[in-house]
């Protein structure tokens, strides 16, 4: 397998259709509800129209939740509220419909796809459609060793690209992207700190289950040590993912980049998705134009990454559970924006010359 050239993505990824966006803005100007009255929904509808290259915008009819799963060796250092190697139980809960994202997905009638990239369990623990892209069992302890070999990182990134192609080819018209991991927020924080040039303490959060102060200090130390290993390879994004990422993070990065190539819009979930998006931005600067930030998880690393990409979260509900749940909550907002942009009637042409008081009469005292 020849070495993947990430620079190719710069040429392959185009921006959403600017002409269609202008058409959508002009259409919005003509609708009966004044521009600005719908707040950010106006912007969302116009963004989606440009992504679809369609004005009026089409409804989002075939969304899908895609969750990349993996265990991270750094969890052995007590940086998570969950024991190392326990992501298998989280995946099982999603597949059995017993997790928050599963409940929301049923309510919204959105299918959920789980992809095992590096769970610390036997490969036959889950069905073939879950495990067929697996790269390895767990990822290395990034404070003292590489998460992956360079070959494993490339295989994971290519797997993410292949999954994006599968989704685009199957007719998926919007993806809600999340992760199922133990130790993943630590790896994500390292990537964000490295790419933003910040210290460990700036990006160290308390994870989905709110670790205590001692665990936070262990996490901060692990991120600090991993950062020392990350900085020498900052110029090579594939090597960076191999050094301090993980198979799930590498796959998510490839998935995001290929979604941008295929013009498939994505709603990002928490800090792990944001970290992968930040790596993707470093690879191809136009790629973030195809992504939305679903929600603010409260993780400082996520806020740092989104700020760097100029992405503003759609929701602020304090959701820390991960697994795509916060991003999935933003889906009805996107669908609502599309419906309003497409279905609100336009003002009658003859009304355009009427005075703003709506009386239909000329104000008293006017002259020719």
Place of tokens 């990537």: 191
What's the pLDDT at 192?
Answer: 98
Domain ranges of the chain: 8-57+341-350, 63-332
Kindly tell me if the per-residue pLDDT of 354 is higher than 90.
no
pLDDT at 350: 55
What would the two tokens of residue 46 be?
Answer: 């116009």
Residue 91 contacts residue 160 (beta carbons within 8 Å): no
Average pLDDT, integer, range 320-326: 88
The yes-or-no verdict on residue 317 having pLDDT over 90 is: no
Q: Tell me how far apart the terminal alpha carbons of the chain are, to the nearest angstrom.
A: 79
| DSSP helix/strand/coil, 182 | strand
Instruction: Report d(CA 253, CA 272) in Å as an integer.
Output: 10
Q: Is 77 helix (H, G, I), strand (E, B) or coil?
A: helix
Summarize pLDDT for 248-296 with one digit per residue, the tens: 999 999 999 999 999 999 999 999 999 999 999 999 999 999 999 999 9
Q: Is 166 a catalytic residue?
A: no
Average pLDDT over residues 50-74: 96
What pLDDT score was predicted for residue 206? 83
CATH code of 8-57+341-350, in short, is: 1.10.1610.10
pLDDT tens per residue, range 88-106: 999 999 999 999 999 999 9
> How many Å apart are CA 211 and CA 189, to the nearest integer?
15
Judged against a pLDDT cut of 70, whether residue 356 lies above it is answered with no
Q: How confident is the model at residue 368 (pLDDT cuts 50, 70, 90)?
A: very low
Burial of 349 (C-beta count, 10 Å sphere; 0-12/13-18/19+): exposed
Task: Please state which of the four CATH numbers 3.90.550.10, 3.40.50.10210, 1.10.357.10, 3.40.630.30 is assigned to the domain occupying 63-332.
Answer: 3.40.50.10210
Question: To which H or E segment does residue 238 belong?
Answer: helix 237-244
- Predicted confidence (pLDDT) per residue in 288-312, tens digit: 999 999 999 989 999 999 999 999 9
pLDDT, position 351: 46
Indicate the pLDDT class of residue 38, thresholds 50, 70 and 90: very high
Q: What is the mean pLDDT of residues 52-69?
A: 96
| 364 pLDDT higher than 50 | no
Q: What is the mean pLDDT of the chain?
A: 92
pLDDT given at position 355: 45
Q: Which residue out of 323, 350, 356, 362 is catalytically annotated? A: 323
Res. 208 pLDDT band, cuts 50 70 90 = low
The confidence score (pLDDT) of residue 205 equals: 86
pLDDT reported for residue 359: 46
Residue 352 has pLDDT above 80, yes or no: no
Instruction: Provide the percentage of residues in the chain whose pLDDT is more than 90.
Output: 83
For the stretch 128-137, pLDDT in tens is: 999 999 999 9
Higher-pLDDT residue of 210, 205? 205
Question: At residue 363, does pLDDT exceed 60?
Answer: no
Higher pLDDT, 319 or 223: 223
């Amino acid at each position: 397998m020849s070495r993947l050239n990430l620079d190719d993505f710069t040429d392959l990824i185009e921006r959403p259709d600017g002409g269609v966006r202008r058409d959508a803005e002009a259409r919005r100007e003509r609708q009966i509800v004044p521009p600005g009255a719908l707040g950010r929904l106006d912007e969302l509808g116009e963004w989606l129209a440009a992504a679809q290259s369609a004005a009026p915008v089409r409804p989002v009819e075939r969304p899908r939740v895609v969750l990349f799963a993996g265990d991270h060796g750094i969890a052995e250092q007590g940086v998570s509220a969950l024991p190392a190697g326990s992501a298998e139980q989280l995946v099982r809960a999603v597949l059995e419909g017993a997790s928050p994202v599963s409940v929301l997905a049923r309510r919204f009638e959105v299918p959920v796809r789980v992809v095992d990239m590096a769970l610390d369990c036997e490969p036959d623990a889950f069905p073939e459609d879950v495990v067929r892209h697996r790269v390895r069992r767990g990822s290395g302890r990034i404070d003292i060793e590489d998460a992956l070999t360079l070959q494993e990182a490339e295989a994971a990134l290519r797997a993410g690209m292949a999954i994006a192609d599968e989704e685009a080819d199957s007719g998926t018209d919007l993806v809600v992207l999340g992760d199922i991991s133990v130790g993943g927020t630590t790896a994500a924080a390292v990537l964000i700190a490295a790419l933003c040039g910040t210290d460990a303490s700036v990006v160290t959060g308390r994870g989905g289950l709110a670790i205590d102060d001692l665990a936070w200090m262990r996490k901060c130390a692990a991120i600090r040590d991993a950062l020392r290993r990350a900085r020498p390879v900052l110029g090579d994004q594939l090597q960076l993912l191999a050094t301090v990422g993980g198979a799930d993070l590498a796959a998510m990065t490839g998935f995001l980049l290929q979604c941008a190539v295929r013009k498939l819009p994505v709603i990002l979930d928490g800090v792990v998705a944001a970290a992968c998006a930040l790596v993707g931005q470093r690879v191809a600067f136009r790629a973030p134009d195809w992504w939305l930030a679903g929600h603010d998880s409260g993780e400082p690393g996520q806020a740092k990454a989104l700020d760097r990409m100029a992405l503003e979260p759609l929701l602020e509900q304090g959701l820390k559970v991960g697994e795509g749940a916060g991003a999935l909550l933003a889906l009805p907002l996107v669908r609502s924006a599309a419906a309003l942009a497409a279905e609100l009637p336009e003002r009658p042409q003859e009304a355009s010359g009427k005075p703003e008081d709506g009386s239909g009469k000329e104000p008293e005292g006017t002259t020719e």
